[in-house]
Amino acid sequence: MKKFIDDPRLIFKCCSLYYDDQLSQQDISEHLGVSRPSVSRMLKLGKEQGFVKIEVTNPYNIKFGKLERELEKKYGLLEAAIADSSPVEATNERISLSVSKETVNFLIRTLEDGDVVGVSMGMTLQNVLRAARQLEEPIRCKFVPILGGLGVSRLDIHSNYIASEFARLFGGDCVQFFSPAIFSDVNVLEGFLKEESVQSVLRLYRSISTIIMGIGIPQRGGSTLMETGYVSGETLDKFVEAGAVGDILLQFYDQDGHCDQFMSFNRRVAGMPIEQLKKVQKRIGIAGGAGKALAVRGAIRGGFINTLVTDFDCATALLAL
């Protein structure tokens, strides 16, 4: 039988019936008078011997499809979405319009009714909201601030505002976390977190299935932390000297995603703990520009993000690291 199914003419006919004429393996078995396992074997031989060449094409001409797969494989990401770069806008926290639109499209595609979605704060998420389009149908999610949302400046980039705007956009609802994002005294923070009104928000964190976050860099120009007055330029400089490459949820980390050397600052942040963040199913980081590559890589290495929306410049820089 082996010699019989190795006949090149029979292999060709089997493959032609299957791929060209769209016959099932059972139909081919009956047509050629061979067993179904023999049909399966000949189809396998057809690919091995070059009778059949299967090519995955890009029917919609997705510009960065191949680059996205390379990023996913290199960094073990669940998914990467890449948009065009903008040399003017893709700096610091001010991600390009194309990245913002790509983020909105990604959320529309992946979020479902009933999802509980955590949101951070910052210019990145504000820019995403600015680029948002009207949804044809609402996606009724609950948006939850995973950082305290009170401040004396730039209220439009605080987490409570971000959560309420996402809820308005998606036709869902939100909760508010009435707390400063950073406390001056860790003991005061620990006492505050024990309050029942705060605990009711923190309990929601266990239900979060998706988190949307910007990825910051410890740079004086355009830093959300500096714009909100949470950190001084001198402190940022010290963190850089200590090896900081980025911050996520206002918490600093080094190129390997380690936070230990910045704990005197990080532990004063009111919000979702980093260890809890790493257990959330889908952790979406948003960043644009080659200057963010080290921060993105550190966030991936630390397990803070497993899904990335970025631009071409940042993507190519990541692949070159």
Which has the higher per-residue pLDDT, 279 or 94?
279
87 has a pLDDT exceeding 60: no
Q: How far is CA 34 from CA 21, 25, 26, 41, 261, in A?
A: 18, 10, 10, 11, 69
157 has a pLDDT exceeding 90: no
Q: What is the CA radius of gyration of the chain?
A: 25
Give tens-digit pLDDT for 43-53.
Answer: 999 999 999 98
Q: How far is CA 126 from CA 161, 213, 241, 294, 302, in A?
A: 9, 11, 29, 23, 25
Give tens-digit pLDDT for 12-37.
Answer: 999 999 999 999 999 999 988 888 99
Residue 153 near residue 228, CB atoms below 8 Å: yes
- Which DSSP helix (H) or strand (E) runs through 118? strand 116-119
Residue 191 amino acid letter: G
pLDDT for 223 equals 67
- Mean pLDDT along residues 100-114: 92
40 has a pLDDT exceeding 90: yes
Buried b (16+ CB within 10 A) or exposed e, 8-33: eebbebbbebbeeeebebeebbeebe
pLDDT for 150 equals 72
Residue 147 near residue 211, CB atoms below 8 Å: no
Q: How far is CA 7 from CA 2, 37, 290, in A?
A: 9, 15, 55
Which has the higher per-residue pLDDT, 3 or 30?
30
pLDDT for 8 equals 86
Which of the four pLDDT bands, split at 50, 70 and 90, describes residue 97? confident
- Mean pLDDT along residues 290-295: 94
- Three-class DSSP category at 285: strand
Among residues 227, 215, 230, 219, the alpha carbon closest in space to that of 269 is found at 230
Q: Which residue has the tokens 């009104």?
A: 197
Residue 217 near residue 224, CB atoms below 8 Å: no
**Residues near 49 by beta carbon (within 8 Å), at least 6 away in sequence:** 8, 11
Which of the four pLDDT bands, split at 50, 70 and 90, describes residue 93? very low
319 has a pLDDT exceeding 90: yes
Q: How far apart are CA 97 and CA 111, in angstroms?
A: 21
Q: What CA dihedral angle connects 144, 95, 248 and 290, to 10 degrees?
A: 160
Among residues 228, 177, 242, the alpha carbon closest in space to that of 205 is found at 177
Q: Which residues pair with 212 in a beta bridge?
A: 119, 284
The mean pLDDT of the chain is 89
127 has a pLDDT exceeding 50: yes
pLDDT for 56 equals 73
Residue 217 near residue 246, CB atoms below 8 Å: yes
pLDDT for 23 equals 93
pLDDT for 61 equals 53
Q: How far is CA 43 from CA 20, 25, 50, 90, 211, in A?
A: 13, 9, 11, 49, 44
Give tens-digit pLDDT for 175-209.
Answer: 999 999 999 999 999 999 999 999 999 999 999 99
pLDDT for 145 equals 97
**Residues near 36 by beta carbon (within 8 Å), at least 6 away in sequence:** 25, 26, 29
89 has a pLDDT exceeding 50: no
The model carries a pTM of 0.81
92 has a pLDDT exceeding 50: no
Give tens-digit pLDDT for 55-79.
Answer: 776 655 577 888 999 999 999 999 9
pLDDT for 135 equals 83
pLDDT for 91 equals 44
- Mean pLDDT along residues 103-121: 94
90 has a pLDDT exceeding 60: no
Give tens-digit pLDDT for 239-280.
Answer: 999 999 999 999 999 999 999 999 999 999 999 999 999 999
